[in-house]
A and B are shown apart, each in its own frame.
Chain A
Amino acid sequence: EDKVVQSPLSLVVHEGDTVTLNCSYEVTNFRSLLWYKQEKKAPTFLFMLTSSGIEKKSGRLSSILDKKELFSILNITATQTGDSAVYLCAVVPGAGSYQLTFGKGTKLSVIP
């Protein structure tokens, strides 16, 4: 059975801190790994990673994938209160498949 594990499950930091969110996976076939941010509504797309070692960046957020270790991290630098959300990691398990396997998410709370 495909499995995606995120850690920590929750995290509280002060504004300005840097955080690292972790995602490990075990899947039969792997195509890509995605990061989403979920606030009060449905998830919004952050990154899609398919190759090892290539960092993707968007402002203060960055992410990288290690396909050998079956692991990805999401970094957020200089955190702001608006970064408070649940961050979801999901894996697309195979070529031609659209189906996502989600982790349970990391709840990030950024306090002023």
Chain B
Amino acid sequence: GAVVSQHPSRVICKSGTSVKIECRSLDFQATTMFWYRQFPKQSLMLMATSNEGSKATYEQGVEKDKFLINHASLTLSTLTVTSAHPEDSSFYICSASENTGGGQPQHFGDGTRLSIL
């Protein structure tokens, strides 16, 4: 089945640091990948849609200059949390599905737990 790999799984760093999270589709190509954020005991909240070769589409309330997304190839999207602060601490998850016009389910990476001290 389709596998999505996300790295790193855990980050602990000081306030003001920028953190880059990678999301890779290992055995399929994904024109579109999604980045989610999940707070404790809450469901996934879509942050942005990452489009290969073009700008990401951000959901309302998500700062595009804070959460930089790059989707340089059909198998890799990166999310960079710039100048992270404690309120950015959360569980970040990416997902992707095969390029079949929405007919395939999204598969999720294992997530990245980000803790900003």
Contact = CB atoms under 8 A, between A and B. Distances in A.
Contacts of A34: 105-106
Interface centre among B44, B49, B101 (most CB of A within 10 A): B44
Contact of A104 (B1, B6, B43): B43
A88 B6 CA distance: 20
A96 B102 contact: yes
Contact of A100 (B34, B109, B110): B34
Contacts of A42: 6, 93, 95, 108-111
Interface centre among A36, A43, A92, A96 (most CB of B within 10 A): A43
From DSSP, what is the main secondary structure of chain A's interface residues? loop
Contact of B34 (A36, A44, A99): A99
Given A42-B109, A42-B110, A42-B111, A100 B46 contact: yes
From DSSP, what is the main secondary structure of chain B's interface residues? loop
Given A92-B102, A97-B102, A100-B34, 19 more contacts: A31-B102, A32-B102, A32-B103, A36-B108, A42-B6, A42-B108, A42-B109, A42-B110, A42-B111, A43-B44, A45-B106, A45-B108, A88-B43, A96-B101, A98-B32, A99-B46, A100-B46, A100-B95, A102-B44
30 contacts: A31-B102, A32-B102, A32-B105, A34-B105, A34-B106, A36-B108, A41-B110, A41-B111, A42-B95, A42-B108, A42-B109, A42-B110, A42-B111, A45-B1, A45-B105, A45-B108, A48-B105, A88-B43, A88-B44, A92-B102, A94-B102, A96-B101, A98-B49, A98-B97, A99-B46, A99-B49, A100-B95, A100-B106, A102-B44, A104-B43
